[in-house]
A and B are shown apart, each in its own frame.
Chain A
């Protein structure tokens, strides 16, 4: 690479860093004050792009029209943020944090379908910035003038935000609320208004980040989740709550990506290394590296012990044998009475139930929320398929070995993850899931790339839908039973103890990290089993099994059912799978419908379905007494 192309790539990287920084800064602000990991932040960015596109079409492709559109789009997205806060989130600030997360997933689904409805499924290519469409010549290469402007915008916004947070009372309030919002309220500050203002600023930044991208990137429906993954990485690498850190991280990642594209494919010592393919994983590699060296990000500090306003988790109740046996008997009888469709749907539900129960194990009792649990599900599925198709193993062996492969990945991923806690941990799990996804997606020759693996069918004696139904019931049921059993073992108690008070756990000699690491491996293996059973039931595997969407589906199942109960995740998996199936057969806009249903549930039952029903039952019983 010559010096000139080095500089060009650097500028390129810096230009894309600006938008990323804007989005991440907003995410960081909102998270800090409201403690909500706003998954819908990427959707706001996406709306920024679409909004700018339409406004420019309406106002004309003149410099005035363009810039008015950008500013208007940002403001409108800010208002959308306010609406989300006022209509949904404000009602559930008292609910457990994870439940708020669920609400933001629902908003992602709704916004995606709104965009689909308004702008259609086609990519929309925006105009180049009027008046700035020329290129500037640097070192003999031509750089779009617009890119140079973008490079300047980043530091300007950084400075403005810094002044806002450090030099104004609003900034002091925001930082105080980041630590203890209840106390801020008791000092006479209207929290609701503070939150709304923070949401406005955060959403506006996301919208601005999106609108500014319109000359560089077509508006499309996949942007929401792809940018949110990037923004998570940036906030975590920079250090949660550190705006300066977000800037640094955005630059670092923007530049690293640009270089990977710039370098292209090189030959080193006879190896061919395709750097351009690295773009998808490079940021996650950076993240994993940074977090191991600096667990709180480049400029982050260990979080001040956030006051937990929620009550401590209630004790878990042991499921009763009669309860389990009745269900088992019912499920055993199903193929005798029900049709093929029901059998297939239930087989799916078994797989997702084990997936959800394993996720619940790690995020509930073990206290480590995973945003990337699909990694193990998908790796289990791929391992099963590849051992069968490429490894030539019999299906039975592939089914047994696949979970171990997923478990082996969990050994590696878990080693990194247990070094962190809270949101940092959650986002690192997401990073590992994305790395897995990218590898599967790009390693065409092994995994079939975006097409996936076909012909992954079970052995003849299991090929019938009924036979496979019993196999799925046996394996998934055993997996669920094992996980529940472990929860009440000394090992499971140690995990719960570590979640309640890491300080005390260490002080009585519990090596918490080791326990958490083992837990990772255990749930990774069982999620892998769920994936393997799923793979053989479908006969094919696609990268979607490792996608962010699959991970969030798992989270929705667990949260819908309720984290604080054992059976909740199973109920959540069943209801979610069934509902998705029902709705998707009826309308193209099934996401919006699902999203609305979830929102309704969130607003009506802030403890999850099973938790909410239990509360209702108790109230009912009390009234009867």
Chain B
């Protein structure tokens, strides 16, 4: 579904990604783990075309996307949920969802407002509230719902558990498993290994812009040395 080969990316003159290679298959949840500043967010941003890929290949389905602009990538069915939420504060919850809407897509679950409100009940109570008047956690849910409105085949989630109360983190894990159940592929950046263990099938570990490990969650769970070295947990 999503295939990244030897991806390099820069911020200005700072070389951040030094050849990232990873893959997410259809219907699979893949976690991208790593310390602060390891390059997780940058990887997602450059897959999405928000940070230009200096070299390397990114293909989604059978389309090469590394030189496409973000909106073209989104229209192919790749959804992106940013780390800093970035909801539209002047728009109501309903309008935020409208902006994310795209036509239904073959081979991807299709979403409606009502289906999303069932997934995130907190939002259902504040349909007409402007995004700026929601708490941090409420915004986090909205930003995921907004991306799902595009009926993606695969979503890139940047730290979805961040800023959420423990009980909501559990709900979020449940939601991600629901998405997977609907046939969606998910690439997930996390620092919270516990959360990742609960939802992901496979994991990659990134360190200083390079992938240092790729394998199943079971392999990762079994290798304490690996976790100590790269994740320091």
Contacts and interface: CB of A to CB of B under 8 A. Distances in A.
Given A188-B75, A304-B132, 13 more contacts: A169-B99, A179-B88, A179-B89, A182-B50, A186-B80, A186-B82, A187-B99, A187-B147, A188-B102, A191-B71, A305-B89, A307-B86, A311-B11
A182 to B, nearest CB: 7
B91 A185 contact: no
A175 B99 CA distance: 10
Interface in B83-127: 86, 88-91, 95-96, 98-102
Interface in B124-164: 132, 146-147, 150
A307 B86 CA distance: 9
Interface range for B: 20 to 34
B70 interface: yes
Interface string A302-315: 00110100010000
Interface of B: 11-12, 48, 50, 69-71, 74-75, 80, 82, 86, 88-91, 95-96, 98-102, 132, 146-147, 150
A434 to B, nearest CB: 31
Interface in A180-199: 180, 182-191
B82 A187 contact: no
A176 B71 contact: no
B150 A175 contact: no
Contacts of A173: 99
A186 B132 CA distance: 20
A187 B146 contact: yes
Q: Which 6 A/B pairs are nearest by Cβ-Cβ distance?
A: A188-B74, A176-B88, A304-B89, A185-B70, A183-B86, A176-B99
Nearest to B69: A185
A63 B29 CA distance: 67
A169 to B, nearest CB: 6
Interface range for A: 20 to 34
B60 to A, nearest CB: 13
Contacts of B90: 175, 178-179, 304
B152 to A, nearest CB: 9
Contacts of A304: 89-90, 132
Contact of B74 (A175, A180, A187, A307): A187
A172 interface: yes
Contacts of A176: 88, 91, 95-96, 99
Contacts of B71: 185-191
A311 B82 CA distance: 18
Nearest to A178: B90
18 contacts: A172-B98, A173-B99, A176-B91, A176-B96, A180-B86, A183-B86, A186-B48, A186-B70, A186-B82, A187-B74, A187-B146, A187-B150, A188-B71, A188-B102, A190-B71, A191-B71, A304-B89, A307-B86
Interface in A286-312: 304-305, 307, 311
Given A187-B150, A188-B71, A172 B89 contact: no
Nearest to A183: B86
A307 B82 CA distance: 13
A399 B74 CA distance: 63
Interface of A: 169, 172-173, 175-176, 178-180, 182-191, 304-305, 307, 311
Contacts of B100: 187-188
Contacts of B12: 311
SS class, residues of chain A in contact with chain B? helix
A241 to B, nearest CB: 9
A183 B147 contact: no
B50 A172 contact: no
B166 to A, nearest CB: 28
Contacts of B91: 172, 175-176
Given A186-B80, A190-B71, A307-B86, A172 B95 contact: yes
A180 B88 contact: yes
A175 B90 CA distance: 8
B54 to A, nearest CB: 15
A20 to B, nearest CB: 25
Contacts of A182: 50, 70
A187 B78 CA distance: 9
B219 to A, nearest CB: 33
B132 A172 contact: no
Nearest to A188: B74
Nearest to B132: A304
Contacts of A184: 99
A528 B94 CA distance: 53
A186 B71 CA distance: 5
Nearest to B95: A172
Contacts of A190: 71
A216 B89 CA distance: 42
A183 B85 CA distance: 10
Contacts of A305: 89
B2 to A, nearest CB: 16
A180 B50 CA distance: 13
A187 B11 CA distance: 22
Nearest to A168: B98
Nearest to B156: A186
Contacts of B96: 176
A172 B130 CA distance: 12
Nearest to B97: A172
A185 to B, nearest CB: 4
B88 A188 contact: no
Contacts of A175: 88, 90-91, 95
Contacts of B101: 169
B44 to A, nearest CB: 10
Contacts of B11: 311
A188 B150 contact: yes
A408 B110 CA distance: 65
B53 to A, nearest CB: 15
For A172, A188, A189, the residue with the greatest tally of chain B CB atoms inside 10 Å of its CB is A188
B50 A169 contact: no
Contacts of A178: 90
Contacts of B80: 186
A189 B99 contact: yes
A243 to B, nearest CB: 14
A180 B90 CA distance: 11
Contacts of A311: 11-12
Contacts of B48: 186
A52 B12 CA distance: 48
